[in-house]
């Protein structure tokens, strides 16, 4: 199907994008790789009046070290992140997760910034960022601010970004030595996770879940159990405590809870094996 | 809105609506109907073309997003009536039946081989996961791609 008509502007800089967002208010939408937004627009589930295309801002595609962090430009494509040597060395979880998204065509277009700003609980990078303790640099008409990943995902497809803000950079602590694991359960090639688990352990362990609620989220009950001395198996049994996973064609909530426990156990075992 | 790009090596410049999808630009404006449309959900890969040498689903990209790029479609592969080695391999190994998925499959395979010149069978299978085929069961497609690998 064909999207409804819209105006289209190519932003040459982040400042230009913010200006356009400020002028046009809620009817304006940023366009990065388009691999979440265009499918919605084709189904007419999104009908923005203006698309502000960030695609030409090449300076927003980078991976570099910044003190103890790895800094990733918001327009870095999944394929570039997956193949990046620095990312593979300093944040192997993030590079690995980027390489598990969709299929090669999707990874040639989709960007990390778009994936995070879309706020889809079924997406992989948001969960990875939660497990890594990432933070996001955003810029708007009121200036820049940094938002911790834990405060970013607010509701279904809803984030802490204001309508005039652009996600500029993602920072993750460098953790070459940490244990990590990403468990993505799918039934078909190319698909989103039915349930996914990302875990990072370096002293303490952070666990996050894909497709287990209305936002990407942490498995806090399992994390607390581990911190209190529980075994991987005991902690994994609590992975879905307090969560309300969705029901869809692929899985019932009960099945998702079961998957969350099994995958969390595998993730914790893999974390222990990596360290 | 004006869009300028090259398609199969030819410079093009056209006035298009921003909402025109790249696949419709190729098929309806340029008449390059080798690129197929197989779904409404960005899943089937029938519309795969190369943008600056990389496989992309042309149903999930606006024509205006291709500004300044080099686009290659299935029509651009053969030269002077001689099939591209991948096309020849698909024919030789019966990598197609109805042929609907084939243009996208061949373009995805050419992007895959550009990125991984010597893939294993498993890498070919994963590398083509963005392309659905309802006829062949994939086996002969994988055989064809492996046979086209440069020694
Ligand atoms: C067939 C298919 C399979 C897929 N499979 C998976 C999968 O397995 N796992 C997975 O995680 N994802 C999957 N995806 C989604 C894919 O990863 C998307 O590319 C990604 O979620 C969105 O990134 P984008 O650059 O394409 O964003 P866009 O679609 O351009 O934008 C998405 C949203 O973010 C906003 N936005 C974009 N950039 C910024 C920015 N810098 N600042 C603020 N707001 C911004 C846009 O306004 C829009 O609301 C799949 C997509 C397809 C089509
Ligand atoms: S037409 Fe199916 S992915 Fe493009
Ligand atoms: S040959 Fe018929 S869909 Fe692939």
Residue ranges making up the domain that contains B39: 2-73
A97: closest CA among A133, A128, A118? A128
Q: Which positions of chain B have pLDDT values less than 70?
A: none
CA–CA min distance B40, chain A (Å): 6
Is there a single domain that holds both residue B65 and residue B92?
A: no
Is there a single domain that holds both residue A191 and residue A258?
A: yes
Is there a single domain that holds both residue A194 and residue A103?
A: no
Is there a single domain that holds both residue A133 and residue A159?
A: yes
End-to-end CA distance of chain B: 46
A77: closest CA among A55, A110, A99, A53? A110
Task: Please say which residue of B73, B94, B114 terminates a domain.
Answer: B73
Phi-psi category of residue A211: left, alpha or beta, with phi > 0 → left and psi -120 to 50 → alpha: left
**Phi, psi angles (nearest 5°) of residue A263:** -70, -35
Residue in B1, B45, B62 closest to A105 by CB: B45
Give the number of domains in chain B: 2
Q: Which positions of chain A have pLDDT values less than 70?
A: 274-275
Report which protein residue has its CA nearest ligand 2's atom 3.
B42
Does the ipTM exceed 0.90? Answer: yes
Contact present, A72 and A80 (Cβ < 8 Å):
no
Instruction: Give me the pLDDT at residue A148, please.
Output: 98
Instruction: Give me the pLDDT at residue A275, please.
Output: 54
Which ligand ends up closest to the CA of B44?
A: 2
Task: Please say which residue of B13, B45, B73 terminates a domain.
Answer: B73
Instruction: Give me the pLDDT at residue A13, please.
Output: 98
Domain containing residue A260: CATH number: 3.30.390.50
CA–CA min distance A189, chain B (Å): 6
Separation of CA A191 and ligand 1 centre (Å): 14
Instruction: Give me the pLDDT at residue A177, please.
Output: 80
Residues A58 and A56: their CA atoms lie apart, in Å, by 6
Per-residue model confidence as pLDDT tens digits over A127-150: 999 999 999 999 999 999 999 999
Cβ distance of A8 and B1 shorter than 8 Å: yes
Instruction: Give me the pLDDT at residue A62, please.
Output: 98
Residue ranges of B 36-55 with Cβ closer than 8 A to chain A: 40-43, 45, 48, 51, 54-55
Is there a single domain that holds both residue A19 and residue A103?
A: no
Question: Is A93 within a domain?
Answer: yes
Residues A116 and A154: their CA atoms lie apart, in Å, by 12
Which atom of ligand 2 lies closest to the CA of B58? 4
Residue ranges of A 23-62 with Cβ closer than 8 A to chain B: 31, 34-35, 38-39, 42-43, 51, 53, 55-56
Task: Give the number of C-alpha atoms closer than 13 A to the C-alpha of residue B144, restricted to the C-beta side.
Answer: 26
Domain containing residue B92: CATH number: 1.10.150.120
Strand order in the sheet with A135-140: A63-66, A69-73, A166-173, A135-140, A143-148
Instruction: Give me the pLDDT at residue A203, please.
Output: 87
Is there a single domain that holds both residue A47 and residue A68?
A: no
Asked if residue A111 has its Cβ within 6 Å of ligand 1, the reply is yes
């Amino acid at each position: 199907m064909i999207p409804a008509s819209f105006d289209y502007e190519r932003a040459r800089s982040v400042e230009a994008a913010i200006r356009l967002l400020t002028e046009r208010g809620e009817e304006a939408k940023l366009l990065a790789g388009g691999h979440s937004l265009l499918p919605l627009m084709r189904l007419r589930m999104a009908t923005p009046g203006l698309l502000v295309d960030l695609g030409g801002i090449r300076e927003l595609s980078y991976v570099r070290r910044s003190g103890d962090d790895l800094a990733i430009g918001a327009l870095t494509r999944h394929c570039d992140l997956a193949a990046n040597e620095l990312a593979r060395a300093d944040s192997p979880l993030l590079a690995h997760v980027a390489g598990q998204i969709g299929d090669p065509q999707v990874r040639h277009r989709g960007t990390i910034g778009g994936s995070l700003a879309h706020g889809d609980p079924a997406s992989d990078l948001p969960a990875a960022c939660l497990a890594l303790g990432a933070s996001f640099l955003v810029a708007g008409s009121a200036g820049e601010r940094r938002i911790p990943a834990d405060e970013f995902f607010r509701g279904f497809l809803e984030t802490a970004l204001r309508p005039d803000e652009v996600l500029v950079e993602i920072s993750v602590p460098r953790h070459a030595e940490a244990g990590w694991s990403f468990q993505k359960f799918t039934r078909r090639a190319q698909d989103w996770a039915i349930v996914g688990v990302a875990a990072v352990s370096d002293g303490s362990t952070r666990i996050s879940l894909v497709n287990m609620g209305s936002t990407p989220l942490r498995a806090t009950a399992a994390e607390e159990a581990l911190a209190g001395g529980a075994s991987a198996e005991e902690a994994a049994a609590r992975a879905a405590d307090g969560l309300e996973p969705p029901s869809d064609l692929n899985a019932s909530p009960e099945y998702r809870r079961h998957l969350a426990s099994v995958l969390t156990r595998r993730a914790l075992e893999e974390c222990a094996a990596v360290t | 809105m004006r869009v300028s790009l090259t398609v199969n090596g030819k410079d093009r410049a056209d006035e298009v609506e921003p909402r025109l999808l790249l696949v419709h630009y190729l098929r309806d404006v340029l008449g390059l109907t080798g690129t197929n449309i197989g779904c409404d959900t960005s899943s089937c890969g029938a519309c795969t073309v190369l943008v600056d040498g990389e496989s992309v689903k042309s149903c999930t990209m606006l024509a205006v997003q291709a500004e300044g790029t080099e686009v290659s479609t299935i029509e651009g592969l053969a030269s002077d009536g001689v099939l591209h080695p991948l096309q020849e391999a698909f024919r030789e190994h019966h990598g197609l039946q109805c042929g609907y998925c084939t243009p996208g499959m061949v373009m995805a395979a050419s992007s895959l081989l550009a990125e991984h010149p010597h893939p294993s069978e498993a890498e070919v299978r994963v590398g083509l996961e963005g392309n659905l085929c309802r006829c062949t069961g994939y086996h002969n497609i994988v055989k064809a791609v492996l046979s086209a690998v440069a020694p």
